[in-house]
Amino acid sequence: MSEKYCFTVGEEGQKSLGLLDITFNDQSQYFVKKHGLQQGMSVLDIGCGLGTMTQFMAEIVGDTGKVVAIDSNENQIKAAQNRCPEHLQKRITWQVADIYDLEKVGKNFDLVYCRFVLHHIYKPRFALSQIEKVLKPGGIYIGIEGIVNAIFTIPDNIAWRSGNFPVEVEEGIGRNANIGKILPRLIHEANMKCIAADIYQPMLVSPEVRRLLLIGECFENKHYQIENNHLTEAEWQRKQDNLKACIDDENTLIGFYAANFTASRKI
């Protein structure tokens, strides 16, 4: 079965992926450095999206290292490549490739980085077995995955509440928007040793950042939800109006997705 990615990609999807960068990059950069990213390393970035973390890792590995950045979507790779400054291009190989097919991409990587990808795919166990295969012995896997049902507002508002997101399950645990919760167990099953797992949940404070939640194509998955009969157009619009009111009320606290930041070693 071919798997359909449900968010907007490429240049169009920039703003929503930009929200992930705004909310999670500081912590991601701190975490990859703390758990071993160094000059001279060979790194694989899987599902690189806009490639901002790819660029950060290319800065750290320097001219003696390299980063291979893959994404299954060609437009996403083009968008990432276009945004990358010239001085980093020679350290980065951009490639359209699937997480299920990593052996075609390379082997013996010192570090594999993969953020917010496993919850989009139907066979995360198989994907982790691929990651384990392309690491060198002792190599590091940095896996950062969401716990989407951690979202909340205070006071509670139906517009931004756990349960708004469809979770599909197929082939065992399947496509799971809360996969961050069970990531350490999956890592163990993939024969890697999990050495750190930190849960981090950003609060959305600035009005500009809060408004990024309104990019309906992405965060409320407008087309996906309507095509799959989860919501009618009118129901989606009502939810969107509620969300706007909640965002504009500065007395409402908004908790964004949580994520489990994991670091593991190939045994």
Residue number closest to ligand SAM, CB atom: 49
Side by side, the strands of the sheet bearing 258-266 are 92-96, 66-71, 42-46, 109-115, 135-147, 258-266, 192-200
CB of 28 to ligand SAM, least distance (A): 8
Nearer to ligand SAM, 48 or 243 (CB): 48
Which H or E run contains 134?
helix 124-134
Residues 6+ apart with CB under 8 A from 172: 125
CB of 117 to ligand SAM, least distance (A): 4
Find tokens 């953020």 and name the residue: 115
CB of 13 to ligand SAM, least distance (A): 8
**What value does the CA radius of gyration of the chain take, rounded to a whole number of Å?**
18
- Quickly list H helices, 35-110: 52-61, 74-83, 86-89
CB of 116 to ligand SAM, least distance (A): 4
Chain residues binding ligand SAM by CB under 6 A are 5, 9, 17, 20, 46-49, 71-73, 76, 98-99, 115-117, 120-121
Nearer to ligand SAM, 55 or 72 (CB): 72
Nearer to ligand SAM, 71 or 132 (CB): 71
Nearer to ligand SAM, 52 or 252 (CB): 52
CB of 220 to ligand SAM, least distance (A): 15
Nearer to ligand SAM, 46 or 142 (CB): 46
CB of 120 to ligand SAM, least distance (A): 5
Please list, residue by residue across 205-238, b when 16 or more beta carbons sit within 10 angstroms of its beta carbon and e when fewer do: eeeebbebbebbebbbbbebbeeeeebeeeebee
Q: Write the CA distances from 183 to 2, 3, 33, 133, integer angstroms.
A: 23, 21, 20, 18
Nearer to ligand SAM, 35 or 120 (CB): 120
